[in-house]
């Protein structure tokens, strides 16, 4: 027989308040659990249309990029990306050893993500083509949540099969195979602090030269310049390792500070350090502002020289400024305006974004040959570039 | 000895998968905010990484898409 419990009216009110508070806590807990935070989840359904522009060092590159992601079941989603580069180049390499040119590069890629409980499997394939370079890349990635969803471990492999051609020489075709092995780990450190670690090893085999670029060497017999050119010769293999550590910290009053460091080394003798720092600041309900600073420095490849002492001085020869000793500094600004927040129907929300990055390149052993001077005493080269990203994103 | 250590490590690993998180789900509101996402706009971050990869000798270990960045 059940005992009847008599309850005073004041006690009933207290119980009701406690129940309501408990329900509110449970609802809040369920709401937070459903948020797409660190747990491995399928990408959101969204579409992004980007216009990009790079203008610097005599090169202008611009074009659109479209990305669409759509779930097609509870466990699977597909992503499609179309990307175009319209290139008009009169860079220092081009004007000193060749003629200005224009070309177009198109890239299409698709990927499928499959979610099984706490495991996300992604498989992708992409193709890129331009006049003198064709690339196809396949990739596979697996991500696993663990330790109470505070840690995500991810392993990835990508392989690119590329063909290098040379305009004006239809018989020229060389292969390059690029393989990437990647391990990354993201970790919730506290309720305000996230960290991510990434390790990547890359191997390239085949024709790794630029088929047009040349090195210069001293030739006293050339009375007008004092030097001559010959084709670059690169090793046929390159193995590279990169390690990166990044963090994001949530500041009071809803703002975020982020920073990162990357170390890079390869078998060509290049070592590089990259530092990044950024601040994200929401303003009122709909605006988001970002400020970024990035510092990069690298040492030259073992076989790089601005000026060789004679023809065929070494087995391998390079004068590609990307293989020289240099630093870059980037100052970036971004603004984002969100519209149709909490929208219903097809369009759930969207935003309009504009990012501007100013990049300064300073070379320590690459000289500006457009300036007449004694051989090997030309001024060191430097240039500025402006990068614009304007894009509209919608979630549906 | 090595095998025992591996088994022990494996057991710790498996145990870890079911451990009680030190940041509870209801404490993750800040982490779930889009401003804490390492890769909030993939089309934009992919492009800027392409800009650097094409003009610098270093590459790799960037923000991954499809997992591993704590944000997918």
Rg, chain A, Cα only: 27
- Can you give the pLDDT at residue A95? 85
The answer, yes or no, to whether residue A110 has pLDDT greater than 70, is yes
Q: How far apart are CA B15 and CA A200, in angstroms?
A: 28
Compute the distance between CA of residue B24 and CA of residue A193 in angstroms, rounded to an integer: 14
Q: Residue A66 has what DSSP assignment?
A: E
B51, A387: Cβ pair inside 8 Å? yes
Q: Where are the alpha helices (DSSP H) in A192-349?
A: none
Reference B59, options A114, A277, A239; nearest CA is A239
Residues of A in contact with B29 (CB under 8 A): 32, 35
Write out the H or E segment, with its range, that includes residue A199: strand A193-206
Of residues B55, B57, B59, nearest to A202 (C-beta):
B59
**Partner-chain residue, chosen from A188, A250, A361, that has the shortest CB–CB distance to B33:** A250
A299 vs A297: CA distance, rounded Å: 7
User: What's the pLDDT tens digit per position in A159-180?
Assistant: 999 999 998 899 999 999 999 9
Residue A49: pLDDT above 50?
Answer: yes
Is residue B18 one of the residues assigned to a domain?
no
Q: What is the DSSP letter of A232?
A: -
Residues in CB range of A313: below 8 A, 6 or more apart: A217
B72 falls in which pLDDT band (50, 70, 90)?
very low
In 3D, which of A144, A182, A34, A38 has the Cα closest to residue B17? A144
B57 neighbourhood in chain A, CB within 8 Å: 264, 266, 270, 272, 298, 301, 322-323
pLDDT digits 0-9 by tens, A233-253: 999 999 999 999 999 999 998
Q: What are phi and psi of A28, to 5 degrees?
A: -65, -40
Q: What is the pLDDT of residue A342?
A: 78
Q: Give domain status of residue B35, yes or no.
A: yes
- Chain B contact probe: residue of A27, A196, A241, A341 with most B CBs at under 10 A: A196
Task: List, in order, residues 6 or more apart from A131 with CB less than 8 Å away.
Answer: A103, A165, A167
Please tell me the predicted confidence (pLDDT) of residue A36: 38
Measured CA to CA in angstroms, residue B31 lies from A32, A144, A230, B45, B70 at distances of 10, 18, 55, 20, 10
**What is the residue whose two structure tokens read 């059940």?**
A2
Lowest mean pLDDT among A37-41, A300-304, B1-5: A37-41
Classify residue B69: in a domain, yes or no: no
Structural domain boundaries enclosing B39: 23-54
Q: Which residue has the tokens 């393989």?
A: A179
* A77-91 pLDDT per residue, tens: 999 999 999 999 989
Tell me the chain B residues in contact with residue A282 when contact means C-beta distances shorter than 8 Å. Answer: 35
* C-beta of residue A54 within 8 angstroms of C-beta of residue A87: no
Assess if residue B29 is contained within a domain.
yes
Give a yes or no: residue B27 inside a domain.
Answer: yes
What pLDDT, on a 0 to 100 scale, did the predictor assign at position A218?
A: 97
Tell me whether residues A32 and B62 touch, CB distance under 8 A: no
Q: Which residues contact A147 (CB under 8 A, 6 or more apart)?
A: B16, B17, B19, B21
Quote the CA–CA distance of A112 and A132 in Å, as a whole number: 29
Are the beta carbons of A264 and B61 separated by less than 8 Å? Answer: yes
Task: Name residue A250's beta-bridge partners.
Answer: A256
User: Smallest CA–CA separation between A259 and chain B, in Å?
Assistant: 10
Contact, A345 vs A313, CB < 8 A?
A: no
Between chains, do B26 and A191 touch, taking CB under 8 Å as contact? no
Q: Which of B56, B60, B70 sits opposite A296 (nearest CB)?
A: B56
Bin A24: left if φ > 0, else alpha if -120 < ψ < 50, else beta. alpha
* Closest CB to A199 among B51, B61, B72: B61
The domain total for chain B is: 1
Partner-chain contact B26 A32, CB within 8 Å: yes
Tell me which chain B residue has its CA closest to the CA of residue A121: B66
Q: Which residues of B touch A147 (CB under 8 A)?
A: 16-17, 19, 21
Return the pLDDT at A354. 98
pTM, two decimal places:
0.85
Structure confidence by residue, pLDDT tens digits, A264-298: 999 999 999 999 999 999 999 899 999 999 999 99
Sign for the CA dihedral angle at A295, A300, A304, A308 comes to: positive
Q: From the CB of residue A287, how many other CB atoms can be counted at a distance below 10 Å?
A: 13
CB A230 within 8 A of CB A277: no
pLDDT band at A24 (very low <50, low <70, confident <90, very high): very low
Report the C-alpha gap between A244 and A275 in whole angstroms. 10
Please name which of A363, A320, A130 lies closest in space to residue A234, comparing C-alpha atoms.
Answer: A320
Average pLDDT over residues A17-30: 43
- Assigned CATH topology for domain A42-395: Porin (2.40.160)
Q: Give pLDDT, residue B2.
A: 61
Nearest to A52 by CA among A41, A66, A40: A66
C-alpha span between A330 and A358 (Å, rounded): 6
Using a CB-CB distance cutoff of 8 angstroms, which residues of chain B are in contact with residue A152? Answer: 67-70
Q: Which of A116-130, A257-271, A274-288, A332-346 has the lowest mean pLDDT?
A: A332-346
A243 compared with A9, residue with greater pLDDT: A243
Give this complex's ipTM.
Answer: 0.87
Q: Is residue B16 part of a domain?
A: no
Nearest to A159 by CA among A176, A131, A179: A179
C-alpha span between A382 and A57 (Å, rounded)? 8
Nearest CA in chain B to A140: B66
Neighbours of A57 (CB within 10 A): 21
Reference A304, options A287, A288, A317, A289; nearest CA is A317
Per-residue pLDDT band for B12 (boundaries 50, 70, 90) equals: low
């Amino acid at each position: 027989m059940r005992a009847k419990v008599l309850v005073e009216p004041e006690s009933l009110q207290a119980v009701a308040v406690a129940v309501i508070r408990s329900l509110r806590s449970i609802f809040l807990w369920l709401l937070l659990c459903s948020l797409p935070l660190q747990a491995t989840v399928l990408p959101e359904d969204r579409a992004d249309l980007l216009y990009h522009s790079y203008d610097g060092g005599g090169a202008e590159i611009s074009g659109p990029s479209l990305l669409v992601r759509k779930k097609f079941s509870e466990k699977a989603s597909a992503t499609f990306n179309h990307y175009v580069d319209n290139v008009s180049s009169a860079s220092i390499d081009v004007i000193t050893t060749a003629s200005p040119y224009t070309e177009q590069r198109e890239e299409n890629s698709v990927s499928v993500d499959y979610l099984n409980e706490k495991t996300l499997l992604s498989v992708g394939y992409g193709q890129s083509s331009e006049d003198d370079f064709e690339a196809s890349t396949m990739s596979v990635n697996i991500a696993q949540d663990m330790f109470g969803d505070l840690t995500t471990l991810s392993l990835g492999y990508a392989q690119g099969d590329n063909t290098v051609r040379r305009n004006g020489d239809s018989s020229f075709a060389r292969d390059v195979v690029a393989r990437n092995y990647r391990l990354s780990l993201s970790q919730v450190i506290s309720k305000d602090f996230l960290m991510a670690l990434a390790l990547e090893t890359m191997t390239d085999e085949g024709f790794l030269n630029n088929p047009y670029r040349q090195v210069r060497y001293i030739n006293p017999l050339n009375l007008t310049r004092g030097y001559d050119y010959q084709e670059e010769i690169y090793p046929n293999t390159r193995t590279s390792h990169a390690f990166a550590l990044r963090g994001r910290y949530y500041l009071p009053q809803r703002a975020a500070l982020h920073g990162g460091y990357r170390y890079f080394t390869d078998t060509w003798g290049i070592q590089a350090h990259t530092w990044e720092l950024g601040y994200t600041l929401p303003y009122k309900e709909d605006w988001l502002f970002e400020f970024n600073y990035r510092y990069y420095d690298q040492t030259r490849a073992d076989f790089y020289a601005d000026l060789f002492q004679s023809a065929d001085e070494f087995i391998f020869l390079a004068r590609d400024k990307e293989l020289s000793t240099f630093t870059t500094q980037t100052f970036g600004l971004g603004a984002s305006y969100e519209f149709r927040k909490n929208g219903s129907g097809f369009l759930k929300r969207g935003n309009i974004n504009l990012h501007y990055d100013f990049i300064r390149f300073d070379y320590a052993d690459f000289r500006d040959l457009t300036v007449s001077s004694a051989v090997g005493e030309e001024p060191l080269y430097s240039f500025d570039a402006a990068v614009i990203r304007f894009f509209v994103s919608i979630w549906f | 000895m090595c095998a025992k250590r591996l088994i022990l490590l494996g057991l710790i690993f498996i145990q870890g998968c079911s451990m009680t998180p030190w940041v509870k789900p209801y404490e993750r509101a800040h982490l779930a905010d889009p401003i804490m996402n390492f890769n909030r706009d993939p089309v934009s971050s992919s492009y800027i990484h392409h800009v650097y990869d094409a003009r610098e000798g270093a590459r790799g270990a960037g923000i991954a898409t499809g997992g591993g960045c704590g944000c997918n």
